[in-house]
Structure 1
Amino acid sequence: MIDIHSHLLPGVDDGSPSIAASLPVLERFVRDGVTTLVCTPHLDASRVRTAPALAYRAILDELRAAAPAGIALEPGWEIMLDVPGADLRAPELGLAGSNAVLVEFPRTGIPPNSAEELFRLRMSGIVPVLAHPERYFGCTVEQVTAWRRAGAVTQLDVQALLGRGRTSQVALALLRAGVIDLFSSDNHGDVRSLAMGRDWLHEHATAEHVDLLTNENARRLLAGEPIVPVPPLPRRRRPRRGIGGRIKDLIFGSRRKPTRE
Structure 2
Amino acid sequence: MSSTVRFPFGMVDIHGHWLPGVDDGAKSLEMSLRMARIAVDDGITTALATPHHLNGIYKTGAERVREEVAALRSEFARAGIELDLLPGSECHLVPELPRELAEGRAMTVADRGKAVLVELPVHSIPVGASTILEEILGLGLSPIIVHPERNSELARKPDRLAEWVEMGCLAQVTARSCIGKFGDLARDASKEMVTRGMIHFVASDTHRDRRRVPDMSYGRSVIEKWTNSEVGKLLAETYPRDLVLGRELELGALDEALPKRRRGWLRKMFGA
Task: Indicate yes or no: 2:237 matched with 1:215.
Answer: yes
Task: Indicate yes or no: 2:165 matched with 1:148.
Answer: yes
Question: Given the alignment, which residue of 6, 14, 31 partners 1:4?
Answer: 14
Does the 8 Å CA contact 1:45/1:86 hold for their aligned counterparts?
no
Pairs within 5 Å for 1:46-195 = 51-67=60-76, 68-83=80-95, 86-87=98-99, 88-89=101-102, 90=104, 93-98=107-112, 99-139=114-154, 140-163=157-180, 165-189=184-208, 190-195=212-217
Segment of structure 1 superposing worse, 29-38 or 5-14: 29-38
Deviations 1:149-198 (A, max 9, x none): 22211011111111151111111111121111111100001334122222
Which has more radius of gyration? 1
Question: Given the alignment, which residue of 245, 249, 253 partners 1:227?
Answer: 249
Unaligned stretches of 5+ residues in structure 2: 1-10, 261-272
When the two structures are aligned, how many residues end up with a matched partner? 235
TM-score, length of structure 1 as denominator length? 0.81
> Using a 3 Å threshold, how does the CA distance of structure 1 residues 26 and 47 change in structure 2: closer, same or farther?
closer
Does the 8 Å CA contact 2:118/2:145 hold for their aligned counterparts?
yes
Does the 8 Å CA contact 2:94/2:132 hold for their aligned counterparts?
no
- Secondary structure of 1:9 counterpart: coil
C-alpha separation in 2, matches of 1:167 and 1:10: 28
CA RMSD of aligned residues (A): 2.5
Does the 8 Å CA contact 1:141/1:177 hold for their aligned counterparts?
no
Amino acid at match of 1:149: E
Amino acid at match of 2:31: A
C-alpha separation in 2, matches of 1:62 and 1:84: 29
- The alpha carbon displacement at 1:75 in A equals 0.8
TM-score, length of structure 2 as denominator length? 0.78
Amino acid at match of 1:21: M
- The alpha carbon displacement at 1:53 in A equals 3.6
- The alpha carbon displacement at 1:12 in A equals 0.7
Q: Provide the residue aligned with 1:257 in structure 2.
A: none
- Secondary structure of 1:93 counterpart: coil
> Using a 3 Å threshold, how does the CA distance of structure 1 residues 142 and 93 change in structure 2: closer, same or farther?
same
> Using a 3 Å threshold, how does the CA distance of structure 1 residues 220 and 150 change in structure 2: closer, same or farther?
same
Q: Provide the residue aligned with 2:265 in structure 1.
A: none
Unaligned stretches of 5+ residues in structure 1: 236-261
Counting aligned pairs with the same residue, the percent is: 29
Amino acid at match of 1:135: R
Question: Given the alignment, which residue of 16, 19, 30 partners 2:26?
Answer: 16
- The alpha carbon displacement at 1:210 in A equals 1.6
Segment of structure 1 superposing worse, 222-231 or 136-145: 222-231
Deviations 1:53-110 (A, max 9, x none): 4344333223212214322101111001133563213276111122211111123510
> Using a 3 Å threshold, how does the CA distance of structure 1 residues 145 and 134 change in structure 2: closer, same or farther?
same
Does the 8 Å CA contact 2:38/2:214 hold for their aligned counterparts?
no
Does the 8 Å CA contact 1:128/1:152 hold for their aligned counterparts?
yes
C-alpha separation in 2, matches of 1:191 and 1:81: 25
Question: Given the alignment, which residue of 27, 35, 41 partners 1:25?
Answer: 35
